[in-house]
Structure 1
Amino acid sequence: MTAAYGLAGVVLVVIATVLIGTLGLRISRTTSDFYVASRTVTPLRNASAIGGEYLSAASFLGIAGLILAYGADMLWLPVGWTGGYLVLLVLVSAPLRRSGAYTLPDFAEARLESMAVRRATSVLVVLIGWLYLLPQFQSAGLVLRTVVGAPLWSGGVLIAVVVATNVLAGGMRSITLVQAFQYWMKLTALAVPLIFLLLAWRFDGAPDLSSRDAPPRFAERTAVSIGLPVTVEVVTPVRVTADGHVDGRRYDGSEITLSAGPHRIDNGTTVTFPAGADVPHVKGTPVRTDREWAMPLAGRDHSIYATYSLILATFLGTMGLPHVLVRFYTNPDGKAARRTTVMVLSLLGVFYLLPALYGALGRLYTPDLLMTGRTDAVVLTLPGRVIGGLGGDLLGALVTGGAVAAFLSTSSGITVSVAGVLAQDILRGGVRSFRAATLLALIVPLGLAIAARELSVADVVGLAFAVAASTCCPLLVLGVWWRRLTVAGALAGLATGGVLAGAAVVVTIAAGPPSGLAGALLAQPAAWTVPVAFATMIIVSWCTPRQVPPGVVRMMVRLHTPESLDVDRGTWRPRRV
């Protein structure tokens, strides 16, 4: 894809986003408009907006990249991310809407009548939001670097500026309109190119990966350009042509032999491989035959544990994501919240059929991404590689626009959630405080994205799900369904789950998980951190029965009484101390 077409796709999506977002400026006047769109969003529009913000960089780029690298095991991610809404539907969506709160900390204080619990929840919401924003900004940099060669920091800055413009203009009303548009934009951006890619695959004889008992190989003589320094593992010695630095030595188009083992290749280096050569894999990516790649649980250490932990994190983490929860405050009533959730399940189910096919096609047509470590770019690379010509350029521009829509919509939703918490609990004001908090919500993760090393998009998002599942999920489930939850129990569970899952996140991101069982426990911590958090909340609550809030009976009636009955609900207002 030429840079001009890719840049055109980015510009058109940004212009459309800003124009739609400015509509919110005309209809957003009150605090309720900015926080929850005055609770007047219809189920279909809300479901489309949820799909728009939930389908992040991890969904649009990350799933395909992980399937390309790791195979069928990664299909659990879209299954879990979709199934999480079923758990949300059954357990918390309607009661959460009936609570009358604006944010998750609002709900925590209303349920437990404690400012301490509110503050703890606020800290977690902000940290989860920032952790989720980090890969959005990094992925935006990947897209701009891929299509126009821009520096990595430029994509994050672009997304932050556009998101700030929309959120400052109209808050929740603005981003609801934008995100509903962006869901359908993302679906179109994946579905239309995929039709042509599948036709090309069929014309190519429809090769079947599961029948090949060999690792990925270059189908023809291929020059691989390295954008960032990488260490690759070579399994079979191969004679290549190198132009750049390999293992610390400079080569100017001369032939060298890459022996079996690790090799360091610097950025700006081009390595040309002969046809039929095995594709070296970036260090840390498993080298599997195509048959092993197509078989679940093949060749992974502690794969059964990792799979079940991933399922637990995605199923339960969904209900703990602040930008997801705030959407259910925008429905008119609990019935509309349930209808919204059912529609979301349908919209997500349709979307998640597509990235898996991109990952499989990438294994056939873009295996060189396994060497560069840029597997997240497979969705962007395939149209130009398989279709080529003007058609490939146009389809590539469409995919690029969809990727930008993914970053914008998810970043907008997270920003509103984090800004709402910062405005209420730190700045403590109305619309002006919300706007100031918006800038703070964006600046911190943008700085982290620029400073941090490049990370796998879906891996970081998966860790955010693990933290949410270990903290907000126990608070919500027990807060909605167990009247004996106490202030001490909630605080102990939040602290325990947050520290354990947070430590696993820090170790994994900073240094990478160690090998063996310890590495599996850190890379996928939800299987042990979630039960520990639930158990801590329950046991400490049993030991502190006198700390049950005095108004718990009234609050439980409010959460579980249908709106058709005449119960005084109103809008809950937090205490100020």
Structure 2
Amino acid sequence: MSSGYGIVAVLVVAVGTMLVGTYGLRISRTTSDFFVASRTVSPWWNASAIGGEYLSAASFVGIAGLIFAHGPDMLWFPVGYTAGYLVLLALVAAPLRRSGAYTLPDFAEARFASPAVRAVASVFALGIGWLYLLPQLQGAGLTLHTVTGAPDWVGALVVAVVVTTNVISGGMRSITFVQAFQYWLKLTAIAVPVVFLIMAWHAHGARDLTGPQFPEFPKQTTVTFDTDTTFDASRATPFTGTGRVDGERVDGGGQLAVGRHAVAAGTRLTFPEGAAVPHVRSIPSNTNDVWALPMRGGERFPLYAVYSLIIATFLGTMGLPHVIVRFYTNPNGRAARRTTLIVLGLLGVFYLMPPIYGALGRLYTPELLMTGDTDAVVLVLPSRMIDGLGGQLLGALVAGGAFAAFLSTSSGLMVSLAGVLSRDVLRLRGVRGFRVSTVLAVLVPLGMTWLVGKVPVADMVGLAFAVAASSLCPLLVLGIWSTRITTVGAVAGMVAGGLPALVAGMVTISARGGGAWYHVFLARPAAWTVPLGFVVMYVVSLLTPRKVPPGVNHVMVRLHAPENLGLRSQDRL
């Protein structure tokens, strides 16, 4: 990809985002405008905004990277991301809108009339939001590094500055315009290149995607290693280059024997056309026909891993604080349901595209399997498949769309995090408190980008989904549909489900993978932490019947009765 075209695309997206946000600023006048856009957003406009903020770094670059590396089992990510809205529609969308609350902690207090439940919900909302914001910043760093060669922290800083400026300027009203615009930008950026990539694949003879061979370099390829890397060679592989391989200085030709090898940062190796591509340790070294089969992604218990992923993505959506906030911008519960139906269609169309990038990457960008930078397949593929100006322009379009993904999701996260911080931590009311909280909200994940190493974007997002499904999902589902849940049970369930999911995920990230039999239970914890959260919340509630909140029946009627009955209390903003 030409760095010049890529830089222009990123700048156009950043400037366009700020201009659209400025338009929102012109009509953001009240506190309600800043927090919930005065609850006047139409279903189509709101659905586009939800699609804009929900299609994150994991959707734009992460899914393609996972399919590229691990095969069809990773298709459950887009299926789960989309189906999560179906569960949201069926269980919580309309009651949440009728609650009159703004943040998840607001709902917790309205339902349980307990400062303790609100405090615990606030902690999890902040933690989940920061976990989800971190991969957006990492993805921005990856994109800018791929386009320009700049250090990863530069892209993270650019996104942080642009998003903070927009949110401070216009709040939810401004962000609604930005996110709706960016959904259609992202769809264009990922769909238009797909048409040309498929045409190029056919022009190249429609090469077999599932043949019995290992991925091979399609032409002479030079690989530069930015970090110390360990990889496995499935066949003896000749190379030329400079640097350090297996602890020895290399300056010229050599051969990688079958087995494990280590290269130092700064090493440059050139491989001939047709040579088998070594795979970094975290990616299973499979032939293309084995890669194309389900349950061959390298996990010790593949069926457990799939079901755990399904549980996390199906149930985690409703526990994401930035998703729930958008339903408070609808005028009523009926509009919230209509919004969700439209979102299902918008997400379904978008998620048809990433698997195509992942599959074609096996043929045209296999060197990414050697460096572990599989998330970059979407960014690199157009210029590899299409020579000349056309490939460069398509690559720039994809880079702009990727940056839009990071900006839109980060915007929604910042609004929700600023709302929780201003209302529950800093106790600052009004627009000024919201702006101060916005600045503080971005500093935590921005600092974490320096502490967390190179972790696949979708893995970080998956951790956020697992924690959300294990903590806030039980609170919402049982809180909305059961009158027997007590304040003690609500707190116990959130902690019993969310804390183990968080610890398991952090252990996995810090260990950078592992071969122990229990690794999959830590890397994919939702299958045991979500049931744990639900069971503990319900059982503890049965054991503490005196702690049922007063007036719970009135609250339940307000959550489930149609708005035109006039039973809903005044909104909190």
* Bucket of the pairwise TM-score, normalised by the shorter protein: over 0.9
Tell me the matched-pair count.
Answer: 571
Q: Give the whole-Å Cα distance in 2 for the aligned partners of 1:426 and 1:438.
A: 12
Greater Cα offset, 555-564 or 222-231: 222-231
Tell me, yes or no, if structure 1 residue 371 matches structure 2 residue 370.
yes
3-state SS of paired residue (1:353): coil
Tell me, yes or no, if structure 1 residue 237 matches structure 2 residue 236.
yes
Check whether the contact 1:86–1:345 (CA below 8 A) recurs between aligned residues: yes
The corresponding residue for 2:354 is: 355
Q: Give the whole-Å Cα distance in 1 for the aligned partners of 2:59 and 2:227.
A: 23
3-state SS of paired residue (1:102): coil
Residues 454-484 of structure 1, C-alpha deviation per residue, up to 9 Å, x if partnerless?
Answer: 1100001001100000000000000000011
The corresponding residue for 2:499 is: 499
In the TM superposition, structure 1's runs of 4+ consecutive aligned residues that sit over 3 Å from their partners are none
Q: Give the whole-Å Cα distance in 1 for the aligned partners of 2:474 and 2:168.
A: 33
Residue number among 283, 286, 295 corresponding to 1:285 in the alignment: 283
Check whether the contact 1:66–1:359 (CA below 8 A) recurs between aligned residues: yes
Structure 1 residue 513: Cα displacement = 4.4
Tell me, yes or no, if structure 1 residue 470 matches structure 2 residue 495.
no
Structure 1 residue 377: Cα displacement = 0.4
3-state SS of paired residue (1:245): strand
Check whether the contact 1:362–1:378 (CA below 8 A) recurs between aligned residues: yes
3-state SS of paired residue (2:255): strand
Q: How does 1:393-542 map to 2 (within 5 A)?
A: 393-428=392-427, 429-542=429-542
Q: Give the whole-Å Cα distance in 2 for the aligned partners of 1:345 and 1:37.
A: 22
The corresponding residue for 2:16 is: 16
Q: Give the whole-Å Cα distance in 2 for the aligned partners of 1:499 and 1:139.
A: 26
Residues 393-445 of structure 1, C-alpha deviation per residue, up to 9 Å, x if partnerless?
Answer: 11111001000000000000011111100000122121111101101110110
The corresponding residue for 2:222 is: 223
The corresponding residue for 2:335 is: 336
The corresponding residue for 1:262 is: 260
Check whether the contact 2:244–2:264 (CA below 8 A) recurs between aligned residues: yes
Check whether the contact 2:311–2:527 (CA below 8 A) recurs between aligned residues: yes
Amino acid in structure 1 at the alignment position of 2:409: T
Q: Give the whole-Å Cα distance in 2 for the aligned partners of 1:6 and 1:104.
A: 39
User: Cα RMSD over matched residues?
Assistant: 1.1
3-state SS of paired residue (1:241): strand
Q: How does 1:74-89 map to 2 (within 5 A)?
A: 74-89=74-89
Tell me, yes or no, if structure 1 residue 302 matches structure 2 residue 279.
no
Q: Give the whole-Å Cα distance in 2 for the aligned partners of 1:455 and 1:489.
A: 35
Amino acid in structure 2 at the alignment position of 1:316: L
3-state SS of paired residue (1:367): coil
Structure 1 residue 450: Cα displacement = 2.2
The corresponding residue for 1:36 is: 36
After TM superposition, the score normalised by the length of structure 1 is 0.98
Q: Give the whole-Å Cα distance in 2 for the aligned partners of 1:336 and 1:85.
A: 15
Structure 1 residue 328: Cα displacement = 0.5
User: Where do 5+ consecutive residues of structure 1 fail to align?
Assistant: none
Check whether the contact 2:299–2:305 (CA below 8 A) recurs between aligned residues: no
Residues 506-540 of structure 1, C-alpha deviation per residue, up to 9 Å, x if partnerless?
Answer: 10111134324310100100000000100000000
User: Where do 5+ consecutive residues of structure 2 fail to align?
Assistant: none
Q: Percent identity?
A: 62
3-state SS of paired residue (1:255): strand
Greater Cα offset, 197-206 or 402-411: 197-206
Q: Give the whole-Å Cα distance in 1 for the aligned partners of 2:360 and 2:329.
A: 39
Residues 163-210 of structure 1, C-alpha deviation per residue, up to 9 Å, x if partnerless?
Answer: 001000011001100000000000000111111100000111212322
Amino acid in structure 1 at the alignment position of 2:555: M
Structure 1 residue 220: Cα displacement = 2.6
Greater Cα offset, 382-391 or 469-478: 382-391
Q: Give the whole-Å Cα distance in 2 for the aligned partners of 1:46 and 1:169.
A: 20
Amino acid in structure 1 at the alignment position of 2:556: M
Q: Give the whole-Å Cα distance in 1 for the aligned partners of 2:416 and 2:354.
A: 27
Q: Give the whole-Å Cα distance in 1 for the aligned partners of 2:438 and 2:568.
A: 32
Q: Give the whole-Å Cα distance in 1 for the aligned partners of 2:354 and 2:66.
A: 10
Q: How does 1:137-216 map to 2 (within 5 A)?
A: 137-210=137-210, 212-216=211-215
Q: Give the whole-Å Cα distance in 2 for the aligned partners of 1:511 and 1:246.
A: 24
Check whether the contact 1:99–1:572 (CA below 8 A) recurs between aligned residues: no
Amino acid in structure 1 at the alignment position of 2:356: L
Residues 347-384 of structure 1, C-alpha deviation per residue, up to 9 Å, x if partnerless?
Answer: 00000000000001111111111001111000100111
Q: Give the whole-Å Cα distance in 2 for the aligned partners of 1:82 and 1:559.
A: 25
3-state SS of paired residue (1:209): coil
3-state SS of paired residue (1:517): coil
After TM superposition, the score normalised by the length of structure 2 is 0.98
Q: Give the whole-Å Cα distance in 2 for the aligned partners of 1:176 and 1:462.
A: 25
Q: Give the whole-Å Cα distance in 1 for the aligned partners of 2:145 and 2:165.
A: 23
Check whether the contact 1:513–1:522 (CA below 8 A) recurs between aligned residues: no
